[in-house]
Amino acid sequence: MLQYFVKRLGIALLVVLTVSVISFGLLRLSGDLAQNLAGEGATPAQVDEIRVLYGLDRSMIAQYFDWAGSALKGDLGRSLFSNDPVFELITHRLPVTFTLAVSSLLLAICVALPLGVFAAVYRNSWIDRAALGLAVFGSAVPSFWFALVLIYVFGVQFRLLPISGSTTWAHFIMPTVTLSTMVMPQIMRLTRGGMIDALDADYVKMAWAKGLNPMAVFFKHALRNALLPVVSLAAVSLGFLLGGSVIVESVFSVNGIGSLAYESIKRADFPVVQSILFVLSFVYVVLTLLSDLINARIDPRIRLH
């Protein structure tokens, strides 16, 4: 198990390194940063001045090591727009996004797992069809539209929920529902597929032959075997929710990291953009590592590889 963990950790570190290099490179390929910062009416002399001021005249490799070196010490630089430390900007916004993403994922799992299990158990029944309908709805409906419908119905018509901001838990309900609707379908369908395979397996026949009750057969014997791909997908979904909730955050005016990224890109605030990319990719890698460890916990055969 320890050997497995160390191996996974090594791979994870390499991924973080690669992502930081690529994101750093891409940002510098997206245009002349000095030109963007100087603005449209700037003279070439002013642009050069800014280039020197922010160290953009040096080689990319030197710039990268400069940035990576201070990032390792926890110093992510300062925002070009507000001059606030980037680290503070991110740690201020991250908890909001994190709360939203985790609650969305939990809601999605709470709906998707039982639904997937029963859809597989009662294949081609009305439960299965209803679950399929829900999945098609969830994947086909654009999140911004669904968010607006929720706002209209629950915020405007019935006045049950606040429509924007992130100050109380009630503010999180509609964004959570919107985001979980986006990730629920894949989790549900993957659970269903895995369960169908598991229910046909000999060890499930054996479980019935032992006289176990249906819930023990479905949830203890079949589900655990069906869960491996679902755990991996859940980790990827959480990463997606952390980085991809930009639209939903802006519809509900939730001040998360998604809206920070969006604002920073508009302002060409490259230290912030660079750091958000880095932090999110880091979180993503940690999640993947976590899902590998959970899977090793679920299936003893993985621990040996």
Partner 1 sequence: MAYAYEACGEPILSVRNLEVSLKTSVGELKATRGISFDICPGETFAIVGESGCGKSISSMALMGLLPRIATARADRCVFDGQEILNLSRRKLSNIRGNTLSMIFQDPMTSLNPVYTIGDQLTEVFLRHGKGNRKQARERAVFLLERVGIKNAAERLGAYPHQLSGGLRQRVVIAMAMMCRPKLIIADEPTTALDVTVQMRTLALLAELQREFGLAIILITHDLGVVASLSDRVAVMYAGQIVETAPTRQLFADPTHPYTQGLIQCIPSYEPPNPDAELHTIPGMVPSLIGKQRGCAFRNRCSLAVDACGEGDEIALRELGEGHAYRCLQPHDALVANWRLLQGESA
Could you list the residues that contact partner 1 (CB under 8 A)? 201-203, 205-214, 216, 221, 224-225, 298-301
Identity of the residue, 164 or 232, whose beta carbon is nearer to partner 1 in the bound complex: 232
For residue 63, count CB atoms less than 10 angstroms from its CB and return exposed for 0-12, middle for 13-18, buried for 19 or more. middle
Identity of the residue, 73 or 301, whose beta carbon is nearer to partner 1 in the bound complex: 301
Residue 207 C-beta: closest distance to partner 1, Å? 7
Identity of the residue, 267 or 303, whose beta carbon is nearer to partner 1 in the bound complex: 303
Identity of the residue, 227 or 280, whose beta carbon is nearer to partner 1 in the bound complex: 227
Instruction: Tell me the C-alpha to C-alpha distance, in Å, between residue 206 and each of 194, 201, 211, 222, 241.
Output: 18, 9, 9, 11, 40
Residue 292 C-beta: closest distance to partner 1, Å? 16
Identity of the residue, 180 or 291, whose beta carbon is nearer to partner 1 in the bound complex: 291
Residue 54 C-beta: closest distance to partner 1, Å? 55
Residue 219 C-beta: closest distance to partner 1, Å? 13
Identity of the residue, 201 or 290, whose beta carbon is nearer to partner 1 in the bound complex: 201
Identity of the residue, 15 or 201, whose beta carbon is nearer to partner 1 in the bound complex: 201
Structure token pair of residue 38? 């100087």
Query: What is d(CA 213, CA 195) in angstroms, rounded to the nearest whole number?
Result: 17
Long-range contacts of 63-72 (CB under 8 A, 24+ apart): 63/24, 63/28, 64/21, 64/24, 67/24, 67/274, 68/20, 71/20, 71/275, 71/278
Residue 158 C-beta: closest distance to partner 1, Å? 44
Structure token pair of residue 266? 């508009």
Residue 3 C-beta: closest distance to partner 1, Å? 17
Residue 233 C-beta: closest distance to partner 1, Å? 18
Alpha helices in 245-304 (DSSP H): 246-251, 257-266, 270-298, 300-303
Query: Which residue, 270, 266, 281, 262, is CA-closest to 93?
Result: 262
Query: What is d(CA 180, CA 92) in angstroms, rounded to the nearest whole number?
Result: 24
As beta bridge partners, residue 85 has: 78
